[in-house]
Amino acid sequence: MSFENKIALVTGGSSGIGFGIARHLLDEGAKVVVTGRDIAKLDKAVQALGPNASGLVVDFTKKTDIDALYQTIRRDAGRLDLVVANAGAGTILPLGEITEQQVDQTLGANVKGVIFTVQGALPLMPSGGAIVIIGSTASMNPPAGMSVYGASKAAVRALVRAWIQEIRGSGVRINVVSPGPVRTEGLDNFFPPEQADAAFASLAEQSMVGRIGVPQDIAHTVAFLASDAAAYINGVELFVDGGASQI
């Protein structure tokens, strides 16, 4: 599927799943704006992505940063055809150890950030545009210690159900892609080295296809939902986890 002459925004696109999505959209012909919080990492990502990529430093817990992002895109590109709301945050803390900082950071990035990402993008999007929000299987079945993160992703699902009604007739679709565990640098660094092999084997065992996800799995799904091939798909949450959440 081609995204020739399309302009895309991928938030949190300097690493991991977001970087994989940005690379795939570029391979399909899009011009892509990626965001990140670390300017050095962002510059490195943009260099790796090539001349049709550009980068902007944005903290999605701050509406002023999001507003500035869209002012820049309006000035430089004039429109957005595709928005992938991937930027987010999450830490593991069980009930009894949850902190105000964790709640503010997680809900700030995953709920507040998504709200203003979508709201700010809509005035720039023509009919036929698509928004894909990266959720998580934790929206339905959060592991122990991830209650706040899971709640933030469940909130996104509820938001989308309301939003597709509120923008009815705009020609813009909004869908959610909810990955299971995906092999990224962040996940690699999450487990202590002595536990990593066993942890990845356990995650692969939970998948009905016998392996852990990779960023390309998510990127291909996002591209499908953003394409004209999915023109009649709106408001869904599509789980991309090898079937683990369906049993």
The residues assigned a catalytic role are 149
CB 146 within 8 Å of CB 140: no
59, two tokens: 């903290």
Helix (H) or strand (E) holding 65: helix 63-76
Sign of CA dihedral 190, 194, 199, 204: positive
CB 177 within 8 Å of CB 134: yes
Of 108, 86, 89, 68, which is closest to residue 32 (Cα–Cα)? 86
What's the DSSP call for residue 147? H
Helix, coil or strand: residue 135? coil
CB 122 within 8 Å of CB 170: yes
